[in-house]
């Protein structure tokens, strides 16, 4: 867990670096698709995750959901941004993919965020990334407010 100065000063490149570090810990012997995620919380803390595959393939968990699990297990339920780095790095080690979160991960991020303001960063490097609001990636979403 890392502490940020202020959310407004959040350095996107720093968040991406945390995701790149987390990707180093990816356990993906079956797909070789290595993913790292760094989740920024409302109190400026950062929790990371990597994908963890399993010999029983459906038991695999995505990097984003591991990061959310880490945050929630550490008492955070207010998340503001995520940086995701992933893909198969070929012989050059250069990432060719922007690793967009899967549908299940988008829904899990939605549970603990304001989708209109939550930022999703998909990065190939600290200088090559795209930014979205969760609302763009998961429009007309279903969330906790519907059950009030």
Residues that bind ligand THU (CB under 6 A): 28, 31, 33, 35, 51, 53, 60, 62-64, 101-102, 105
* Unique residue bearing structure tokens 């987390």: 22
Give the residue with the Cβ less far from ligand THU, 33 or 98. Answer: 33
String of DSSP letters for 5-48: S-GGG--HHHHHHHHHHHHHT-B-TTT--EEEEEEEETTSEEEE
Quote the radius of gyration of the chain (alpha carbons, Å): 15
Strands ordered across the beta sheet of 79-87: 2-3, 45-50, 34-41, 79-87, 119-125, 128-133
Among residues 64, 111, 135, 136, which one is catalytic?
64
12 is catalytic: no
> Cβ distance 52 to 70 under 8 Å?
no
**Beta-sheet pairing, 2-3 with 34-41:** unpaired
Give the residue with the Cβ less far from ligand THU, 4 or 33. Answer: 33
Give the residue with the Cβ less far from ligand THU, 62 or 81. Answer: 62
- Catalytic positions are 64
């Amino acid at each position: 867990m890392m502490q940020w100065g202020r959310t407004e000063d959040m350095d996107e490149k720093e968040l991406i670096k945390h995701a790149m570090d987390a990707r180093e810990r990816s356990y993906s012997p079956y797909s070789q698709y290595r993913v790292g995620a760094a989740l920024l919380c409302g109190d400026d803390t950062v929790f990371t995750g990597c994908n963890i595959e399993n010999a029983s393939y459906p038991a695999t968990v995505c990097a984003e959901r591991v990061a959310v699990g880490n945050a929630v297990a550490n008492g955070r339920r207010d998340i503001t941004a995520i940086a995701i780095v992933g893909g198969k790095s070929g012989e050059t080690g250069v990432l060719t993919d922007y690793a967009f979160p899967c549908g299940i991960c988008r829904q899990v991020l939605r549970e603990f965020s304001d989708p209109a303001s939550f930022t999703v960063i998909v990065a190939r490097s600290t200088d090559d990334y795209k930014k979205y609001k969760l609302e763009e990636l998961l429009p007309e979403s279903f969330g906790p407010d519907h059950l009030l």
